[in-house]
Amino acid sequence: DQQVKQNSPSLSVQEGRISILNCDYTNSMFDYFLWYKKYPAEGPTFLISISSIKDKNEDGRFTVFLNKSAKHLSLHIVPSQPGDSAVYFCAASGELYGQNFVFGPGTRLSVLP
């Protein structure tokens, strides 16, 4: 059973609008979360992270929100740009996992010009 879920396999958004990518987790031992972005024929690259002691982390156009009680996090991209079109992976870890992360299945974002 997947511990990290991204229930939307794909998402299309108009350029300039907000993109919201969602991630749910089941393991309450997770206390650190990352988002990775992946372009075709490239490896994933780190985008933004959040620790469970926070409920929000912002980096430029990217903001991650964490709702611990709901075991839910979301990535907001504002404004969305065509270059944001990629697959986004949510990943989670915790003290018991050391440096290992559990990845979700990914959401493919298409930003339409």
Nearest to 11 by CA among 79, 83, 106: 106
Nearer to another protein, 69 or 95 (CB): 95
How many whole angstroms from its chain centre is CA 85? 14
- By CB under 8 A, name the binding residues for another protein: 2, 4, 6, 9, 31-32, 34, 36, 41-46, 49, 51, 89, 91, 93, 95, 98-101, 103-106
Nearer to another protein, 13 or 89 (CB): 89
Nearer to another protein, 96 or 112 (CB): 96
The neighbour count for residue 113, using CB atoms within 10 Å, is 8
Give the separation between CA 35 and CA 5, rounded to whole angstroms.
13
Q: How far is the CB of 61 from another protein (least distance, A)?
A: 19
| Phi (first) and psi of residue 52, to 5 degrees | -70, -10
Q: How far is the CB of 46 from another protein (least distance, A)?
A: 4
Nearer to another protein, 30 or 77 (CB): 30
- Owner of token pair 């075709």: 40
Q: How far is the CB of 111 from another protein (least distance, A)?
A: 21
Asked if residue 32 lies in contact with residue 48, where contact means CB atoms within 8 angstroms, the answer is no
